[in-house]
Structure 1
């Protein structure tokens, strides 16, 4: 993979962006959608249990966990994921679509790393 890559997916008013950054064998992925912010972060490195956390009053950890789970088998170094997705008046269906899109984008990213 080149040093930087962007992937996107959309569904009606929802647009999700993956910004992938490679530094040697290590990767940083920033996941955004809607109003810009950071709501959760996590990491993976070989031999250590993956760790992720929501920042106070945020619920983006599920997105981070999906990405770490899907990408960790493809990464030889370290992986850091940060996510912030916010849409006003989001519906349960839109939340499910976001999780699906993030899984699909993570699969595409896994093929690149």
Structure 2
């Protein structure tokens, strides 16, 4: 499952892959890379783990996405994030956060629809 959103020079892509009942999510934009990984299970912040490379700032974004999706889907979710735009402004950072939130909600909606359509 793949989703993409653009705003000005910003373009974010979210890819989601089911792994059994769990979910692997990749979020990238600009010069794609691995900057942070968040792993969350449903049931609270104590059930989330975060890895971040020095100098990278995707950690809180990945953490929020993983928490939201794990709680909504009642499964374990791993979000790998890497977003890099040269000379990004504070306004653009806020836009990236909004785009990521929208992509997260679109993915959740698509997964809910997919789940209803699946035969047992």
CA distance in 1, matches of 2:75, 2:24: 11
Q: Which residue of the other structure, out of 88, 92, 95, is the alignment partner of 2:93?
A: 95
Which protein has the bigger helix share?
Answer: 2
Contact 2:41 / 2:71 at 8 angstroms: preserved in 1? no
Q: Which residue of the other structure, out of 49, 62, 65, is the alignment partner of 1:64?
A: 62
Q: Which moved more, 1:13-22 or 1:65-74?
A: 65-74
Note the residue ranges of structure 2 that are not aligned, 5 or more in a row: 112-120
Residue 29 of structure 1 corresponds to which residue in structure 2? 25
- Aligned: 1:12 with 2:43: no
Instruction: State the TM-score, normalizing by the size of structure 1.
Output: 0.88
Instruction: State the TM-score, normalizing by the size of structure 2.
Output: 0.84
CA distance in 1, matches of 2:103, 2:109: 10
Structure number with greater Rg is 2
SS at match of 1:89: coil
Shift of 1:31: 0.3
Contact 1:42 / 1:53 at 8 angstroms: preserved in 2? yes
Q: Which moved more, 1:86-95 or 1:103-112?
A: 103-112
Shift of 1:62: 2.0
Which protein has the bigger strand share?
Answer: 1
Note the residue ranges of structure 1 that are not aligned, 5 or more in a row: none
- Aligned: 1:43 with 2:9: no
SS at match of 1:56: coil
RMSD: 1.4
